[in-house]
Chains A and B, each alone.
Chain A
């Protein structure tokens, strides 16, 4: 086992830092702390800094800076024990939800809970955003109540409407765009998760705390 964190090339215009082998919230805090410190360098050659569960991507303009020089900039910001302290600039967001999803009853049936219990267990707790991505504005929120954990649907839906609140495994999310999707849809929100005219355009950023609150008609 190599000493962590490790830095490896991600092609010739990015590097990937790995902080741990397994997912935990503390690891995520280290990743996001390092991301914030790299952004504070305000180096124009560094185009993107992308925190994920256990890893951090740092993208650069290869015509303006060499890989080794980016490593030299980034490495000191990962190594110091003190420097790994988490930062606390995250937002707390409340997302109003109507629990009217097409899979709500099936989730209740498969988990052996009543519909009201499913709603209570989903809306009761605070979630944290582990990662944002694969598509614009999609945030992976955890951890879900274990009693609600189900594998993804056997056949994904071809079209999940934007604003769908869904669960899968130990995670929950709001679909920002109309896309195919295999998560169980239990509700919907009218909040726009992604809006190109907003800065930042994604409503939920990695590290944010999210609560789902009942949107009573």
Chain B
């Protein structure tokens, strides 16, 4: 069992998500940096879909009530076990009663704390992922707070692996493909999207990332009948300020989708923090 002794402003339980319910309006949710989460689970010899803590914004602390194997990655942070600094992306043993303290997050947005055996919360609609807007999944459908306790799943007694997991490269270049409404944007808009830098806005979370930068003008004010969206869709409202749909975002919407981030770049994009720059490259 894990006790949350000092919760950060934002931490939820996530696994690989809840596909299959988009037609009920339920977004897929799941780890924003899925690639790093899968690498950490592989390192710990967990099931690929084992749930972990997605931790953001600031530091905090967890107490492990039993001997546990833990791996931390995704974002970069200064982490300590019983006061001693630990390496990221490697399997670290924490003895019963030991404390994991997360200091400053130095790079990236989502720090992933995986434990051998996975975090055991009830499976809701096929997933342990938290969807805050519907108070669904995770721990009571909400963020972690001080005093919460989390169960750890059955663990195998595999030897402690020595390798270092490869998690996503934190870099602001992101590949996209043309979106369903690509033709509604003229060459000036395309030159802006592909030739200029955008900055991730403060107004960005697991539902969507707003981008600040050149305005992207649609050829005409298109009022589309609401249509299916997807993770990574770069949609452009009338304001010309793009919003990228993320894992907990709306399942349908009426804004033109100029481009869509390729699935292989979603994890990298998700790790961008407010104020960080992003450049888009198109794959034809």
Contact = CB atoms under 8 A, between A and B. Distances in A.
Interface of A: 8-14, 16, 18, 22-23, 35, 47-57, 59, 62, 131-138, 140, 176-177, 179, 194, 196, 200-202, 205-206
A51 B260 CA distance: 20
A55 B254 CA distance: 11
Most chain-A Cβ atoms within 10 A of its Cβ — which of B23, B177, B229? Answer: B23
B124 A196 contact: yes
Contacts of A10: 179-180, 228-230, 233, 257, 260
B261 interface: yes
B36 interface: no
Given A133-B250, A134-B253, A196-B136, A205 B263 contact: no
Nearest to B259: A11
Interchain residue pairs A-B with the least CB separation, the first 4: A57-B228, A11-B260, A202-B24, A133-B252
B228 A200 contact: no
A12 B25 CA distance: 21
26 contacts: A10-B180, A10-B257, A11-B230, A11-B260, A12-B262, A13-B230, A13-B263, A18-B180, A47-B19, A49-B23, A50-B251, A50-B252, A52-B227, A52-B228, A53-B227, A133-B23, A134-B250, A134-B251, A135-B25, A135-B134, A136-B131, A137-B24, A179-B133, A194-B24, A201-B125, A205-B23
Given A52-B228, A55-B225, A201 B22 contact: no
Contact of B228 (A16, A136, A140, A176): A16
A176 B231 CA distance: 23
A201 B21 contact: yes
Contact of A50 (B124, B135, B228, B261): B228
B25 A136 contact: yes
A134 B22 contact: no
Interface residues of B, number: 39
A12 B263 contact: yes
B125 A53 contact: no
B232 interface: yes
A18 B224 CA distance: 11
